[in-house]
Amino acid sequence: MIKRNTGFANLTAGYLFPEIARRRREYVASHPEAKIISLGIGNTTEPLSKHIASKMSEYCLALATPEGYSGYGDEQGNSALRARIAEVFYPGLVDASEVFISDGAKCDIARIQTLFGREVKVAVQDPAYPVYVDGSVVVGAAGENNGTGYNGITYLPCSPENDFFPDLSKVEPNTLIYFCSPNNPTGAVATKDQLKKLVDFANKNGCIIIFDAAYCEFIRDKNLPKTIYEIEGAKTCAIEVNSFSKPAGFTGVRLGWSIVPNELKFEDSSSVNKDWNRVMTTLFNGASNVAQAGGLAALDEQGLQDMKAQVDYYLANGHKIKETLDGENFKKMGVEAFFTGNGPYVWAKFPGKKSWEVFDAILDKCHIVTTPGSGFGPAGESFIRFSSFGHKADIEEACKRLSKFEM
Ligand SMILES: *Cc1c(COP(=O)(O)O)cnc(C)c1O
C-alpha cells in the first residue's frame, strides 16, 4: 500500500466552511420554517456584467469556426491580457513579462508553495484566509498541529489593539510572509507607511512576501495602496496574487493573476520569475481562453465601469451591515464592529463570547449564517465575520433581524 501524504493527516479536521454548512443543515432540519440568509461565505451573488458575458460568448462562438479556433495558448497567459493588466493595475510599476495569468488566486497560492518546498519558514497574519496555512500544511512546511495552531508557522496577531498590523519582530529571517490587504477576514487595509515597514523588514531579513490583493478594487480611499508595488523596494521582496473573482463576479468563471518581479531572487541569486515560469509551464497549462476573453472585456472602458458598479453595490451592503452592528442592541452587548469601507467584510468583536457561541445564537435567533472568526486563526476568537456579498434585499432583511438580536 502507498503511504498517505503526512501533510493531509496533519490538516485540522473540520475545515471551517464544511463545519458551517453542517451546523446550518442541522438547524434547518429541526427548524424547517426558518428562512436562512447567509452573510457567511465569501462568494459573489450578483450576475455578470452583460458586456463581459457577451464578449465571452462571442469568443466562445468564434471557437466553433476555423478562423476563430485556438487550442493551447501561452501558459503564462494571453499576451494582450498580460499587457492590459500591467497597464490598468500597475501603471509604470510592472512589466507584462512579470504578469502570469491563472485560474485564480487560491490556485496560485497553492502552486506558490511548490516554489519554496517544505523547508521554508512561514508566517501568516492571524486571523488569515485559510489556504495560506492549509497549503503550507499539505506540502509539509507547517510542522505539527499543537491544538491551537502549527508549530512550524509563525502567527502574527492582527487585532484592534495593533491597528490590525502585526509585530514583525516575531518573524525570523528568510521567512515566507503571507499578507492580505484589504484583509479577509478583518477588512483592514494596510496604509502606505505600514506596507513600507513590511517591505523594509522583508528586504532587510531576506523574506519574501506573498501579497494577496484579491480585494484591491474595493479600495475607495485614494491614500490607501492598491498594490504592494506602490511601495519602494517591493520588487525585490514581493509576489502579488490577484483575481477577477470578487470585482467581476468571476468566482465561477475562474481567472486570476500573479506578479513575480524580474528583480526577485532566491538566496543563490537565481530568478524567482524564471522558476515561476517553469511552474506555470510545467504544472499548469494556461487559464481558460474563454475566461481570458472575459478578463480583457473586464478591463476595457465599459468593463471597468461595470466592475466598479458591482463593487459599489457590495460596499453599500457593507455600510448597511456596519450601521446595524453599531445599533443600541449591539452596544449593550459591548460589540465593536470594524468596517473600513474599503473591503467587503465587517469584522465584529463580541467581548467575553466564543465565536461559535455567537454563530449559533445568530443562527438560532435571526436565521442568519455568519462566519466564526476563530475559524481564521487563534486571534479571531470572539469575532464574527459578516460578508457584504448578497442581494441588497437579503441584506436589508438580515439587518432588520439583526437589529433585534440579543444574547
Ligand atoms: C476570494 C479570495 C481569493 C480569490 O480566490 P480565487 O481563487 O481567485 O477565486 C483570494 N484571496 C482571498 C483572501 C480571497 O478572499
Q: Are 293 and 59 in contact (CB under 8 A)?
A: yes
Q: How far is the CA of 251 from the centre of ligand 1 (A)?
A: 8
- Which pLDDT tens digit goes with each residue over 56-79? 999 999 999 999 999 999 999 999
Q: Is the pLDDT of residue 102 over 70?
A: yes
* Crossing angle for the helix pair 50-62 and 289-298, to the nearest 10 degrees: 140
What's at 50, amino acid-wise?
K
CB-ligand 1 contact for 258 (6 Å cutoff): no
| Confidence tier at 387 by pLDDT (50, 70, 90) | very high
* CA 106 to ligand 1 centroid distance, Å: 5
Q: Does residue 147 surpass a pLDDT of 80?
A: no
39: nearest Cα among 316, 371, 341, 349: 371
pLDDT of residue 16: 84
Asked if pLDDT for residue 13 goes beyond 70, the answer is: no
The pLDDT assigned to 338 comes to 98
256, 293, 217: which is closest to 99 by C-alpha? 256
Mean pLDDT of 14-20: 82
Q: H or E stretch including 197?
A: helix 192-205
Residues 12, 138: Cα–Cα separation, whole Å: 11
What is the 129 CA–ligand 1 centroid distance (Å)?
8
CB 126 near ligand 1, within 6 Å: no
pLDDT in tens, 253-303: 999 999 999 999 999 999 999 999 999 999 999 999 999 999 999 999 999
Q: How confident is the model at residue 308 (pLDDT cuts 50, 70, 90)?
A: very high
Q: Is the pLDDT of residue 169 over 90?
A: yes
For a mutational test of ligand 1's pocket, the pick from 129, 178, 258, 314, i.e. the residue with the most ligand atoms closer than 8 A to its C-beta, is 129
C-beta of 295 in contact with ligand 1 (< 6 A): no
The 10s digit of each residue's pLDDT in 188-226 is 999 999 999 999 999 999 999 999 999 999 999 999 999
Q: Whose CA is nearest to atom 12 of ligand 1?
A: 214
Distance CA 219, CA 384 (A): 22
For range 102-115, the mean pLDDT: 95
DSSP characters for 276-333? HHHHHHHT-----HHHHHHHHHHTSHHHHHHHHHHHHHHHHHHHHHHHHHTSHHHHHT
pLDDT digits (tens, 9 = 90+) for 126-141: 999 999 999 999 999 9
pLDDT at residue 108, rounded to an integer: 97
Q: Ligand 1: which of 16, 245, 250 to mutate, most ligand atoms within 8 Å of CB? A: 245
Q: Which residues contact 328 (CB under 8 A, 6 or more apart)?
A: none
Name 218's Cβ contacts closer than 8 Å, sequence gap at least 6.
182, 246, 247, 311, 314, 315, 342, 343, 344
Q: Ligand 1: does its nearest atom lie under 6 Å from the Cβ of 107?
A: yes
Kindly state if the Cβ of 251 falls inside 6 Å of ligand 1.
Answer: yes
**Ligand 1 nearest-atom number relative to CA 108:** 7
Rounded mean pLDDT of 176-196? 98
Beta carbon of 149 within 6 Å of any ligand 1 atom: no
Q: How high is the pLDDT of residue 327?
A: 98
At 41 the pLDDT is 78
Cβ 243 under 6 angstroms from ligand 1: yes
Confidence class for position 15, pLDDT limits 50, 70, 90: confident
Ligand 1 pocket, residue 123 CB under 6 Å: no
Q: State the pLDDT at residue 279.
A: 96
CA–CA separation, 116 and 141 (whole Å): 9
104 lines ligand 1 (CB under 6 A): yes
Predicted local distance difference test score (pLDDT) of residue 149: 84
pLDDT of residue 22: 93
* Ligand 1 contact via 180 beta carbon (within 6 Å): yes
In which element (H, E) is residue 347 found? Answer: strand 345-349
pLDDT digits (tens, 9 = 90+) for 328-367: 999 999 999 999 999 999 999 999 999 999 999 999 999 9
Please give the number of the atom of ligand 1 that sits closest to the Cα of 244: 8
Q: How high is the mean pLDDT of the chain?
A: 96
**Ligand 1 centroid from CA 77, angstroms:** 19
- pLDDT value, residue 127: 97
pLDDT range class, residue 104, cuts 50, 70, 90: very high
pLDDT recorded at residue 119: 92
DSSP 8-state class, residue 238:
E
Q: 213 CA to middle of ligand 1, Å?
A: 9
User: What does the DSSP assignment read for 163-188?
Assistant: TT---GGGSPSSEEEEEESS-TTT--
The verdict on the CB of residue 105 being under 6 Å from ligand 1 is yes
Atom of ligand 1 lying closest to residue 107 CA = 7
Q: Which domains does the chain have, with CATH numbers?
A: 6-48+303-402 (3.90.1150.10), 52-300 (3.40.640.10)
Give 111: exposed, middle or buried? Use CB within 10 Å, 0-12, 13-18, 19+: buried
pLDDT of residue 14 exceeding 80: no
The ligand 1 atom at the shortest distance from the C-alpha of residue 184 is 13
From the CA of 243, how far away is ligand 1's center (Å)?
7
Percent of the chain with pLDDT over 90: 94
Query: Pick the residue with more confidence: 10 or 340?
Result: 340
